[in-house]
């Protein structure tokens, strides 16, 4: 079985206290999410798995912004999530150089409008390990889509966070029906 680690939205605007829409930043700190993501990236590198970092962002001037989205509709007005801005840079502690590829997504779902699925299929990936912020948005969306694309889906719970611990726990509970929830220790034991 070929595995890929996919880290979602570990960017300043979402995960760092200075981020402009970082509702989950305190949970990222409290749960030590970035250090755990780094550990997962190192495991993926050691095992020879494909590692992909996917971040949300909109083109300069926001031509691809979904104006009717309650989540993203005010991004331009707020000056957030514009590719090339400091907010769409990876969290400063994230070891992004360990990733084999970086993709930009224009929506919540990592598969929407990206080359993620072709990259996975080209490498024969059948199992994806998802981690990121927010568990309640990006992880839920990508996990459900990956499941429906016939990938085996694992969620690295320790490297995820949401705006509140309750949102995170609820999301993980819901995802348990379509994905296996794993720890870093379990991840290290996978082939």
| Geometric angle at alpha carbon 105, from 102 and 110, rounded to 5° | 85
Share of the chain above pLDDT 70, in %: 99
The first and second tokens of residue 165, run together, are 């611990």
Distances (CA, A) of 68 to 29, 74, 110: 31, 9, 19
Q: How confident is the model at residue 14 (pLDDT cuts 50, 70, 90)?
A: very high
Q: Is the pLDDT at 167 greater than 80, yes or no?
A: yes
Higher pLDDT, 63 or 164: 164
- Residue (of 178, 146, 172, 153) closest to 27 by Cα position: 172
The first and second tokens of residue 161, run together, are 């966070």
For residue 171, the tally of other CB atoms under 10 A from its CB is 21
Measured between its terminal Cα atoms, the distance across the chain in Å is 8
Whether the pTM exceeds 0.85: the reply is yes
Q: What is the pLDDT of residue 1?
A: 63
Q: Which residues pair with 181 in a beta bridge?
A: 155
DSSP 85: S
Q: Is the pLDDT at 109 greater than 70, yes or no?
A: yes
Which tens digits make up the pLDDT trace of 47-76?
999 999 999 999 998 888 887 888 887 888
Residue carrying structure tokens 């919540």:
108
Mean pLDDT of 24-52: 98
Determine the topology of domain 2-189 in CATH. Rossmann fold (3.40.50)
């Amino acid at each position: 079985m070929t595995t890929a680690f996919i880290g979602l939205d570990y960017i300043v605007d979402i995960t760092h206290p200075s981020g402009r829409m970082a509702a989950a930043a305190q949970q990222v700190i409290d749960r030590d999410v970035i250090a755990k993501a780094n550990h997962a990236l190192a495991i993926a590198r050691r095992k020879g798995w494909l590692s992909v970092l996917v971040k949300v962002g909109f083109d300069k001037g926001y031509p691809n912004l979904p104006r009717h989205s309650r989540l993203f509709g005010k991004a331009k007005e707020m000056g957030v999530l514009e590719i090339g801005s400091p907010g769409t840079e990876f969290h400063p502690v994230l070891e992004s150089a360990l990733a084999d590829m970086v993709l930009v997504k224009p929506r919540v779902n990592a598969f929407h409008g990206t080359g993620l699925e072709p990259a996975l299929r080209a490498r024969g990936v059948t199992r994806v390990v998802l981690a990121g912020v927010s568990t309640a948005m990006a992880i839920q969306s990508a996990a459900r889509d990956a499941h429906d694309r016939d990938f085996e889906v694992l969620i690295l719970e320790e490297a995820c966070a949401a705006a509140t611990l309750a949102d995170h726990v609820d999301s993980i509970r819901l995802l348990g029906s379509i994905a296996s929830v794993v720890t870093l220790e379990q991840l290290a034991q996978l082939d």
